[in-house]
Structure 1
Amino acid sequence: MNDNTPNSSQLTALFINTTLTRSPGMSHTQVLIDASASIMTKQGVTVNEFRAVDLPIATGIYPDMREHNWDQDAWPELFELVRAADILVLAGPIWLGDNSSEMKKIIERLYAHSSELNDRGQSLFYGKVGGCLITGNEDGIKHCASNVLYSLQHIGYAIPPQADAGWIGEAGPGPSYGDTLDDGTAVGVSNDFTQRNTTFMTWNLLNLAGLITGAGGFPADGNDRNQWAAGARFDYPNPEYRS
């Protein structure tokens, strides 16, 4: 480890598994989550996780859908884990070349908080770091990852270099990441490309989160919504227009 490597021991990470399989059913996405989470745990990071499909998370774009004709909504309580996490990793499978319906729902629920601000007048998610893990046996890792990572950065998350990893195995009904070989090991464990990318993604998340938290947060220069509302323009040109 280099002398300038940020300290990860005070960081908190949250993994949200958007598999369509309820517990205790097998989730291949969970096997890849476990690989990334184990690296973080070894670095002293506090890791939390939940499987979205197990919980009554309502569909919608408001922070609490119980205020919009839903009888149940677990999201307001779960969002406290999101709020507390320095690192958020959204993980899920590919279906029909796209992210799962559970992944879409989680992104929509995150977006519901995009108007909330931190104590610097920035988006609530400024200063937090995001990444994603994608699994399946059909093409689409890059498409799914680009959608997740764009969505996270759009609402304020910082995205480090190579912030995604995944496994697609053979195209079609071939082996999935957590399927076992004759010796009992998972199929994906023997794949160097997936293991390398998962490891690099995990460390990139740790490094960027460590840098940001070590600096006291993401700089508030030019992105304070309260100041903008008060009339500040942060050097934005204000030409005089003629009628």
Structure 2
Amino acid sequence: MDTIDFSGLKAMYVNCTLKRTPEISHTQGLMDVSIKIMEKEGVQVSQLRLVDYDVATGVYPDMTDYNWEKDDWPRLFKDIFDADILVIGTPIWLGEKSSVAQMLIERLYSMSGEKNKKGQYLYYGKVGGCVITGNEDGVKHCAMGLLYALQHIGYSVPPQADCGWLGEVGPGPSYLDKESNAAENDFTNRNTTFMTYNLMHLAKLLKENNGYPAYGNSRKDWDNGARWKFENPEYR
């Protein structure tokens, strides 16, 4: 079987648990499965737990410009944007992604109006996925919201870009608890592996081709009058 060199890639994993370090995060447990795969493939992996930082609520690049005394987002964003791949990890609460994950999406959105050198929206050429854990239904629902948001602001989403693990509904063993036997769940392990490799494959393709061509999708060119093959519809 042929091997592929992924060593030129960078990935950032953002854990959106509600628990501050050093509390155990079951979401981190599943994220670590994906992280180990990437590291073994030579990808440079960084990670952060968003709740450990003073990230202000808002949809602007720096909320200290809007009456917040402190906002760690501008410096965290530099590390996130430096990565070719972004993987968001979140637990499920009441069927939804965590409030921290929603904050991350909002702060990523705050930068989405910026442009790259081609005049495209800033996140063009970057790849996104998500990891979800919980003891209640909602993996696909949470993934749907996260992946939609990522692609909407410019991230590319490959096939099978999410993975998750669910324990018994209600109080019970979570992912890292031995009695859950989660580490032996073939469905979760398969999806986590496929997600990880699909993220790397797409990121490698985009990086080697310098992202997307700017033909037909450059906001800068559109504002300068380019319309390519677009024509206003005729109403009769």
**Is 1:26–2:20 an aligned residue pair?**
no
Q: How far apart are residue 174 of structure 1 and its match?
A: 1.8
Summarize deviations over 1:3-55 as a string: whole Å, max 9, x none: 6x4x3101000000000011110100011111100000011100001001111
Residue among 1, 5, 8 paired with 2:6: 8
Secondary structure of 1:93's aligned partner: strand
**Is 1:188–2:182 an aligned residue pair?**
yes
Q: Which residue of 2 aligns with 1:163?
A: 161
Task: Supply the distance in 2 between the matched residues of 1:145 and 1:194 (Cα, whole angstroms).
Answer: 14
Task: Supply the distance in 2 between the matched residues of 1:91 and 1:239 (Cα, whole angstroms).
Answer: 43
Residue among 53, 56, 64 paired with 2:54: 56
Q: Which residue of 1 aligns with 2:88?
A: 90
TM-score of the superposed pair, with normalisation by structure 2? 0.97
Secondary structure of 1:159's aligned partner: coil
Structure 2: which amino acid aligns with 1:125? Y
TM-score of the superposed pair, with normalisation by structure 1? 0.94
Q: Are the equivalent residues in 2 in contact too, given 1:61–1:109 (CA < 8 A)?
A: yes
Q: Which residue of 1 aligns with 2:77?
A: 79
Task: Supply the distance in 2 between the matched residues of 1:98 and 1:63 (Cα, whole angstroms).
Answer: 25
Q: Which residue of 2 aligns with 1:154?
A: 152
- Counterparts of 1:1-243 in structure 2, within 5 Å, are 1-2=1-2, 5=4, 7-181=5-179, 187-239=181-233
- Unpaired stretches in structure 1, ≥5 consecutive residues: none
Q: How far apart are residue 2 of structure 1 and its match?
A: 3.2
Structure 1: which amino acid aligns with 2:201? N
- Unpaired stretches in structure 2, ≥5 consecutive residues: none
| Identical aligned residues as a percent | 57
Structure 2: which amino acid aligns with 1:232? A
Q: How far apart are residue 124 of structure 1 and its match?
A: 0.7
Task: Supply the distance in 2 between the matched residues of 1:45 and 1:101 (Cα, whole angstroms).
Answer: 29
Q: Are the equivalent residues in 2 in contact too, given 1:176–1:187 (CA < 8 A)?
A: no
How large is the RMSD of aligned CA atoms in angstroms?
1.3
